[in-house]
A and B are shown apart, each in its own frame.
Chain A
Amino acid sequence: MTADTHDITVTVNGTPHRRTVESRILLSDFLRHDLLLAGTHVGCEHGVCGACTVIFDGAAVRSCLMLAAQADGHAVATVEGLAADREHLHPLQEAMRDCHGLQCGYCTPGILMTMKVFLDETPEPDEAQIREALSGNLCRCTGYQHIVDAMLLAAERLRGRAP
């Protein structure tokens, strides 16, 4: 069978990318292999672990459960777009570092993208809300307490910034 291909344009972190992809290419693999944005990690590939979470049209989603072809004409944000530049991490990333919110870092990109949307929508979260928001991201080495601490700190710092 000849491969079923599609010409797509996907805006990733503000930059439009034109590519030709096979139908069955997952959005996660498109980001990593076609665009060489390997910050989006791939864990379980069936929607359970959350490592591949990206922001699709403003909502946190599993990139392993979407096709690249579905992203045609849509906007995706990945962990590569969080920090303003190499010297200035995003407050979420700063807080993760300050609170020891990561060890191996495998789950971190997914957690950052999940919590980016959550904190934008919930600027004054309590601990229970943070734990609920984090429920779709598995961490197997750091433990969640430091991640929760980091999110409380990040929320506080983000509130202190000028809009």
Chain B
Amino acid sequence: MKPAPFRYIAVRSLDQALELKAEHGDEARFLAGGQSLMPTMNFRLSQPAVLIDINPLAQCAGVQKAGPETLRIGALTRYRDLERAPATAENLPLIKEALPHIAHPQIRNRGTIGGNLAHADPASEMPAIVLALAGKLHAQSKRGERWIAAADFFAGALRTALEPDEMLTEVELPIARPRSGACFMEVARRRGDFALIGVACTVELDDHGRCKEARIGLCNAGDGPIFAVAASRSLAGQNIGSAEIDDAAALVQRDIDPGGSIHASKDFQRHLAGVLTKRALAAATERAKA
């Protein structure tokens, strides 16, 4: 046995899960896919007193249309099911493109979108994607429920806006619109490893082919998932060509603060962020025109 002792409770209902979290607060952790939590418990980096297993809550998994322009994804939806859902390929091309980069097939068989977002690893792909898509996250507790904009949800490395008694239950994402394009790219040392740098971007064009809105998210580029505000804004209203793309990439490089590691220095990460931003923006713009 590797983890420190804890009390394990497999819940039968969402109410029971929220009840337990209200009772135990920060002493308790939700166990979803467990693909990030279990390694930290095996190393005893995290030692929750209570583990609330939400895997029995089938109602918390699945992808459905919430309206003509939005999809809602249950927090317990596994990556593998997202990969296979026709709704992903059709409506969420950015996620479709990113999924093969997220760890390995065995990890995607268990890992969930909600567990990943609540874990808020700065190097993880999905937080950057949800920022690029301007998603919304649904939190529930015994006290009530609320929607949190992605930009307000992430609060730094492994930190979120969730209160100790709250559970992330759903993610709402916009369906890809006509004349919009998206692209995800990352550089990792090996397939499935954490990205040295990853870039997720969306570009929406107006009737004249000018950029209506562009959004650029980055992973492993600082103390938390990054939304590149200045670079994204610089593209609005522009006819996106190589000069505009170069300027946006320079703004990304200026504004990020990558941590550097034994595998990639800060300078190399910044270099990669520039290169990937250019390539991803060019691809997303082409796709928006197609």
Contact = CB atoms under 8 A, between A and B. Distances in A.
A25 B31 CA distance: 15
Contacts of B105: 60, 114, 118, 132-133, 135-136
A23 B106 contact: no
Interface in B1-24: 1-8, 10
B1 A26 contact: yes
A90 B99 CA distance: 32
Interface of B: 1-8, 10, 31, 34-35, 38-39, 42-43, 51, 53, 55, 80, 100, 103-107, 109-110, 190-192
A156 interface: no
A3 B109 contact: no
A143 B38 CA distance: 29
A6 interface: yes
B42 A45 contact: yes
B4 A65 contact: no
A24 B5 contact: yes
* Interface secondary structure of A, over-half rule: mixed
Given A60-B106, A133-B105, A135-B192, A24 B6 contact: yes
Contact of A4 (B5, B42, B80, B106): B5
Given A24-B1, A66-B34, A47 B8 contact: no
Given A23-B51, A50-B106, A62-B106, A1 B5 contact: yes
A64 interface: yes
A69 B8 contact: yes
B110 A132 contact: no
Given A70-B10, A132-B100, A133-B105, A26 B191 contact: no
A136 B107 contact: yes
30 contacts: A1-B5, A4-B6, A6-B8, A23-B5, A23-B6, A24-B4, A24-B6, A25-B1, A26-B42, A45-B2, A50-B106, A53-B106, A56-B109, A59-B80, A60-B109, A62-B35, A64-B38, A64-B42, A65-B42, A66-B38, A66-B110, A67-B38, A67-B51, A69-B53, A72-B10, A114-B105, A118-B105, A135-B104, A136-B103, A136-B105
Interface string A25-56: 11001000000000000000111001001001
Contact of B110 (A6, A50, A65, A118): A65
A39 B289 CA distance: 54
Given A70-B10, A114-B105, A65 B1 contact: no
Which of A64, A65, A118 is packed against the most chain B CB atoms within 10 Å? A65
